[in-house]
A = this chain, B = another copy of it.
Amino acid sequence: MRLSPITYDGAMGRWEPNARDRLERAALALFAEHGYDATTVAEIADRAGLTKSTFFRHFADKREVLFGGQDMLAEQFGQAIRTAPPAATIAECVAAAFEAVAGAFTPDRHDLAPPRRAVIAANSELQERELLKRAYLSSAMADALRGRGADDTTARLAAEVGILAFSSAYARWAEPGNQQPFTAIAHAALGDLQARAAALAVPADAAAC
């Protein structure tokens, strides 16, 4: 299948550009229409004007088409923590990581989040992948913290708390009515969790659960 040529600037594919983009959009549309399971890779490729072969050249996995940017996110987390000021505390390192990825949460990306979340919420296999993504981000943060000299246990704990803050901040940012920028929400979530972590450490506290 050959599509009409489109002039495009930038280093894109040679035929019709944006093959990866087209596949992502086609997948999201079909998943929303018929559900994730009822949609085959061949159908996605077909709607994008491509074939199954090409799909798997762009995505290692059928699920991957919904979880594209996670590698970049993990890389940015790690980079921000590694390049934070030497005197920064662990909490400040985590906050720096959040600021580093704030660029990915621009208002124009905001519209794509709700349908994507809806598709994931409707399928347990995709929720699993979402959890996996979190674990991946968490271990990237923990590695970077260890690289700064933090001991293993503290690094893992801080990373878990950081990811918890990140994911709840993302959920709030992605809400349809939200206007606040991601950074503000993320910082608030992190501060909130820090306070609650302190409360956890006081078993004599009267706060029975």
Contact check, B160 vs A200: say whether CB atoms are below 8 A apart: no
The stretch from A13-21, A104-112, A188-196 touching chain B is: A188-196
CB neighbours of A86 from chain B (8 A): 208
Contact check, B89 vs A196: say whether CB atoms are below 8 A apart: no
CB neighbours of A128 from chain B (8 A): 132, 135
Given known A153-B168, A193-B153, A198-B197, contact A209–B160 (CB-CB < 8 A): no
Q: Mark A150-183, 1 if CB is under 8 A from B, else 0.
A: 1001111110110010001000000000000000
CB neighbours of A208 from chain B (8 A): 86-89
- Smallest CB separation, A154 vs chain B (Å): 5
Contact check, A161 vs B160: say whether CB atoms are below 8 A apart: yes
CB neighbours of A160 from chain B (8 A): 160-161, 164
- Smallest CB separation, A12 vs chain B (Å): 31
Contact check, B90 vs A209: say whether CB atoms are below 8 A apart: yes
CB of A100 within 8 Å of the partner chain? no
Contact check, A93 vs B194: say whether CB atoms are below 8 A apart: no
Q: Mark A74-87, 1 if CB is under 8 A from B, else 0.
A: 00000000000011
Which residues of A come within 8 Å of B, CB atoms? Answer: 86-93, 128, 131-132, 134-135, 145, 148-150, 153-158, 160-161, 164, 168, 192-205, 207-209
The 8 closest A-B pairs by CB, nearest first: A198-B201, A131-B135, A197-B197, A90-B209, A150-B209, A91-B203, A194-B201, A148-B209
A-B contact pairs, 13 of them (CB 8 A): A88-B209, A89-B204, A89-B205, A131-B135, A132-B132, A148-B209, A153-B192, A153-B193, A154-B199, A160-B160, A160-B164, A197-B197, A198-B198
